Structure formats: C-alpha cells, structure tokens
Structure 1
Amino acid sequence: MRSSTYLLTSTLVLGLIGATAMAGELLAPGIVSTGLQETSAAMMPDGKTVYFMRSDFAEKDDTILVSHRDGKQWSLPEVAPFSGQWHDSEPAISPDGKRLYFVSNRPVRAGDAALVAEMDGKQFPGTNLWYVEQQAHGQWGPATHVDGELNDGAQIYNPSIAASGNIYFSAHRADSGKLYQLYVARRTASGYAAPERVDLGDVAKNRMDPGIDPQERYIVYSGNEGDSVGSADIYISFRGVDGTWGKPERLPGDINSASLDIAPAPGRVFGELYLSSNRSDGPRYPKARDDLASLQRRLSSPENGSRNIWRFDISLTLRDHGLDH
C-alpha cells in the first residue's frame, strides 16, 4: 500500500554526497538486498546486526529479518524472533539499542482479528506500533503494544526513535490533508503525548518515512516538495535554535534517482544514511542473447527493479549546516 500511495499521490563502500558525489553502496547484495523487496534498515549500535523488512512485490507478505556481520561478510538472514506470523514491517531501533519498534497488523487483544485500514475506498493491512525490549543475553522480550493516540486510525508507518524517547512517524490523520505527513509523539512521565504534526510547510505535499537524528537536530524523509526527480525523493530539514524546522532540501548527489527512493534512516556512524530504492540500470540493448539460465539469473537479482537497501554518506551536507558529529 505504501509504495502505491507514493506513486499515486506524489507529483509524483560509502559515497561523498556533494559536488563530487559517488554512487551509494548496495547493502550485502544477494544476502540482504535481493530480487525481493527490502526496506527499512535498522542497525544495532555496534553496526554488526541489521534488522530489515522483506516482502513480495505486492507488499501483502511483510516480514522482519535479521542479519549479522562478521568482518565484511553478512550472514544469511533469519526471521526475527518476534516476527513471522503477522504483517510486520519497518523496524526501528532506539539509539541505545534497548528497544526495537516496528509496525504490525497483529491484534491488540489476543484472539481478535488482524487490524484492517481503509483509505480511498480500499482496504489493506492496518498498522499499530509495537516494540520488543532487550532482555538478558541480548534476547528480545515479548512484543508490547504502544498505548496512546499515536496508534489511532491503524495507519502509522516507519517509526524513528530519538534519544529523548520521542517517536517520529508518518501517518494519515485528521490534520494531514489528503496525503501523508510526519508526526512526533513526545515521551512523557506518563506515556506518550498526543501526536503533533511536524511543520514542514504546505500539507498538500506528501511526506513519509521520517528518519530522526538521535539529538533531533535534523530529520530526513521521503516525499515530493515539488522538485522530485523520481516518484519520491529523500529530503532533509534542519531544526533551528528556536525549535522550528527549516525549509526542506532535497539531498544532493546520487542519493535520489528517477525511481522510488524511500525509508531513509541515519546509521550509527556520523553521516551514514540508509535508504530503500528500486533504482536499476537495467539491461542495455542490444544485450548479449540470453538463455533461460542467464535470464532467470538476471530477473532474480537485486538489479531486477525490486527495492533494495543502499548506504550513502551525507556528512558533507551535515557539515555545511554546522554539524560535525
């Protein structure tokens, strides 16, 4: 539902991002990034474990997977211990690594039916926000539903967690206009306050998939501010000393493509940025004549137009705005 929403509602090794931009690095091709759909990379603090979502092209079957890095090699992914039964997606890990948040259509009360959402007369799996907490020996505890108004409407997407405990997410709510907008639910002593829309300007613009800097100095997201070169591009907004958000800027260089670029998430190293994209160079014609084996190999590779996870470096952009760590 999310990718089709972009297409219908939009006007619609690390690289140096700037005047001398380099292409990003595909994350673990053939292992993490495959011929299926991979989205929403969430890295543990040590950078050696990544959680991500894998799904079919129709996004009817979403599951959260985990892969571990030993040296430069990533392990064959496994289904995360808290996933595999429901429509689970979009993992996000708190800066201290103690909680992993995700969205799911699993019922709030055991035995109830799965959550269903509706928009523009179409029904699709609903989403509420859940989390698992680290237990002894690095194991995750049972999934816990996040109570509060942020789960109203069963349409909450792509959580991102600040060091303060504030949760940023995208949703379609009463003040969203016709499209999706970004929100923050602030953590208080008694739970989460009612969500506030992140004011980035005209709500006629579609905005989704926030990735918040742990110190909340900047936010990256996917959308179209009127200058997108693809179905959706990656933008950044910096927070002023007065707490207001600056005018969104489309990230420069090769981060954005003529394809769908979504789900940006700051990594664990200064300037590191992960995103999901279905960019592909595709075959060049005339191509070497395929036999069945070569055709199948190419059509099932990460370059088949499926969404994959990419890694970029936006440190130059951050330094240009006065950030150095």
Structure 2
Amino acid sequence: MKINLSCIFCCCAFLVFGQEEMTVLPAMELLKEFDKVRDFTMGDSGTEAYFTIQSQTEEVSVISMSTKTGEKWGAPIIASFSGTYKDMEPFMAPDGLRLYFVSNRPLHDSISQTKDFDIWYVERLSKTGAWSEPINMGAPINSEHNEFYPAVAENGNFYFTGDRPDSKGEDDIFFSEFKNGNYLEPISMDENINSEGFEYNAYISKDDSYLIFGGYNREDGQGSGDLYISFKNDAGNWSKAKPLPQPINSKQMDYCPFMDEANSTLYFTSRRISNPKEPLHNMQSLRLFLDSYENGNSRLYMATLNISQLKAN
C-alpha cells in the first residue's frame, strides 16, 4: 500500500513483557542519504536485503538491494528487475528462490502504458543465482483493482493488501489459500484483523501462525499508523489483533513489518521524529536536525521482538 493512504534513531527504551527492555535502532543507517526508504525483506542467510527507495513525490520508486559482509551492509544497488516503473514492497519467499513485489508496469513489454498496481515476482534457480524477468501473478490474486504488499507462508498461503469492492472498509488485508497447486479466490480477513478503516502491509510468519500488519488511526493506537499482531489458533481462527508495544509503535506512521524469525528481530518502516535537544535558532542546528536519522523522513528500523511472550500475554 502507498502510505499517502490513497492507494529515530530513537534510542528510547521501555519496560515491556515484565522486565525485558526493548530498544528501537536504525536498521540501515547507510541509507540515511535518501529521503524516503521503506519496506524491508531478506533471505534466511541474513546477508541479502531488499528495500524500496523513493523520491519525495513517489514518482520514482525503485527496489534496491544490499549485501552484508561481516556486520556491515554494503552500498545499495538497484535490483536487476527494477528502475523503469514504480516498483516497491519486495518480499522474499521462505525458500529464497522467489521475490514478490508490487509494480504498475504493463503486462507486456510491447505496451508502454502503465496499469494499476499488481503483484509480480522474479525467481531464481539457486540463492546465489540471477533473478528472472518479472512475472505477473495473474488472477485470482491480481484484479482490476490495486494489490499491495505481498507475503507468503511456507505452505504457500498468500496475504496482501487490496482496495477491492468487498473490503470491509478502506484497504483490507486479503488472504488466498494455496490448495492443490492453485490459489483460491482471495477473501477479506475477518473483523479481528480488518475494520472500517485502513489495514495494510501484512507480514505472515513462515509457519502461517501469526500476522503482523498496519492499522491506521485505530482507537487503541498511538494516533497514526501502528503495527498490530494476531495469532491463529488450532481451529484456524485469528485472534483479535493487538497493537505492538511502544517504542515500536510511535505517534508517527509505523508500517511495513518484516520478521527475521531466526533472530527474533522485527524490521519496519517509520516516520518517527525526535525533538531537537535544543531550539533550532541557527542554520547549523537546523542542518544537524535535518541530517539526523530521526527527522521524520521514512526510515528503516529494527527491534528485538519476542513472539512467544507476546502470544502469552
């Protein structure tokens, strides 16, 4: 979903889950030079990450990638399949051999006119191989309406954001079951997930047992976009979604979750802003603030998140 809703370094810590301390940190500070960075996904090796870099107006939106050597991420490069159309919201499949993303590119190269946003994917033969040309997912996942933020579990079940007529409100989280090698007609998830407002950007766990997603301006939120979690029980029903704790959720827009499940690390995008320590009475202090990580621009953050403790609460 495009976070205009038509479509810090905040080293603050709170006591949550008993005595456990939670800290939110920059995920990739090397991307600070870009005004708008959003979305994050990576393979299970933890050394290959994909994300979206946009212009302020979002007229330019490209998927880029970085590789990690030791503890350091390398300079970003534009992904081989991106750079011509508006591309965003990459999601690495659990096996690392397919990368889903969103694009307004035409269905055929011979057609120059762009279309609504669809879900596409590229694939490769090995985790070190080259990506294929983009492939449109087609029906029933894609439609004449917009589809955003793909996520897939190991069993193939597919989750995405849609603005379809059967949404419960504005944008909804939709689910398509993968059965006998095919995707069934997507359905809007129930009221434990969706509301009359905007729900978007769902991450599904590899084992299809919990869902982290964005909800806008909910009564139990911090005042803008917040991240929520819901768990699936043995009967296949989803629990009433609860907001993730502060400081993950802030008073500004928090969205685009991705879990590194092996390391219990949540990556997400935020527009959070930290107040300058001193009044901005001169250009030097203004420049320092504008050049800081927590200046209100779209940035990538990370935090340790214990899913088992969240479920127990």
TM-score over 0.5 (shorter chain): yes
| Distance in 1 of aligned mates of 2:124 and 2:143 | 26
| Distance in 2 of aligned mates of 1:264 and 1:33 | 19
Q: Which residue number corresponds to residue 117 of structure 2?
A: 127
| Distance in 1 of aligned mates of 2:81 and 2:16 | 36
Relative contact order higher in (CA < 8 Å, ≥ 6 apart): 1
Picking from 215, 220, 230, the partner of 1:237 is: 230
After TM superposition, list the pairs within 5 Å mapping 1:140-151 onto structure 2: 140-151=131-142
**Structure 1 residues 314, 200: closer, same or farther in 2, change over 3 A?**
farther
Q: Secondary structure at the match of 2:202?
A: strand
Q: Which residue number corresponds to residue 123 of structure 1?
A: none
TM-superposed deviation, 1:295: 4.2
Q: TM-score, normalised by structure 2?
A: 0.89
| Distance in 2 of aligned mates of 1:220 and 1:200 | 15
**Structure 1 residues 244, 270: closer, same or farther in 2, change over 3 A?**
farther
Picking from 230, 251, 254, the partner of 1:261 is: 254
Q: Which residue number corresponds to residue 2 of structure 1?
A: 2
Q: Which residue number corresponds to residue 220 of structure 1?
A: 212
Q: Which runs of 5+ in 2 are unaligned?
A: none
TM-superposed deviation, 1:33: 4.3
Q: Are the aligned partners of 2:276 and 2:289 in contact in 1 as well (CA < 8 Å)? A: no
TM-superposed deviation, 1:252: 1.3
* 1:102-140 Cα deviation digits (max 9, x unpaired): 010111122224434xxxxxxxxx211111111354211
After TM superposition, list the pairs within 5 Å mapping 1:42-57 onto structure 2: 42-57=41-56
**Structure 1 residues 278, 163: closer, same or farther in 2, change over 3 A?**
same
Q: Which residue number corresponds to residue 164 of structure 2?
A: 173
Equivalent residue pairs, number? 305
**Structure 1 residues 135, 153: closer, same or farther in 2, change over 3 A?**
same
| Distance in 1 of aligned mates of 2:117 and 2:3 | 15
1:321 is aligned to 2:311: yes
Larger proportion of helix: 1
Q: Are the aligned partners of 2:227 and 2:243 in contact in 1 as well (CA < 8 Å)? A: yes
* Paired letter, 2:196: A
After TM superposition, list the pairs within 5 Å mapping 1:91-240 onto structure 2: 91-116=90-115, 126-135=116-125, 137-201=128-192, 203-224=195-216, 225-240=218-233
Identical-residue share of aligned pairs (%): 28
* 1:149-203 Cα deviation digits (max 9, x unpaired): 2111341111111001121111111211341110112223353221122213463
1:74 is aligned to 2:65: no
Q: Secondary structure at the match of 2:5?
A: helix
Picking from 290, 299, 310, the partner of 1:299 is: 290
| Distance in 1 of aligned mates of 2:12 and 2:221 | 23
| Distance in 2 of aligned mates of 1:154 and 1:111 | 22
Q: Secondary structure at the match of 2:100?
A: strand
* 1:266-317 Cα deviation digits (max 9, x unpaired): 11424221110010204234247334xx6445424433211111111221x4
**Structure 1 residues 132, 14: closer, same or farther in 2, change over 3 A?**
farther
| Distance in 1 of aligned mates of 2:172 and 2:47 | 32
**Structure 1 residues 17, 75: closer, same or farther in 2, change over 3 A?**
farther
| Distance in 1 of aligned mates of 2:281 and 2:68 | 36
Q: Secondary structure at the match of 1:269?
A: helix
Q: Are the aligned partners of 1:200 and 1:245 in contact in 2 as well (CA < 8 Å)? A: no
* 1:57-81 Cα deviation digits (max 9, x unpaired): 2222110000111111111100001
| Distance in 1 of aligned mates of 2:144 and 2:258 | 24
**Structure 1 residues 154, 34: closer, same or farther in 2, change over 3 A?**
farther
Q: TM-score, normalised by structure 1?
A: 0.86
| Distance in 2 of aligned mates of 1:14 and 1:237 | 25
* Paired letter, 1:238: F
| Distance in 2 of aligned mates of 1:226 and 1:115 | 37
Q: Which residue number corresponds to residue 119 of structure 1?
A: none
**Structure 1 residues 33, 93: closer, same or farther in 2, change over 3 A?**
farther
* Paired letter, 2:245: P
Q: Are the aligned partners of 1:158 and 1:170 in contact in 2 as well (CA < 8 Å)? A: yes
**Structure 1 residues 93, 284: closer, same or farther in 2, change over 3 A?**
same
Q: Secondary structure at the match of 2:174?
A: strand
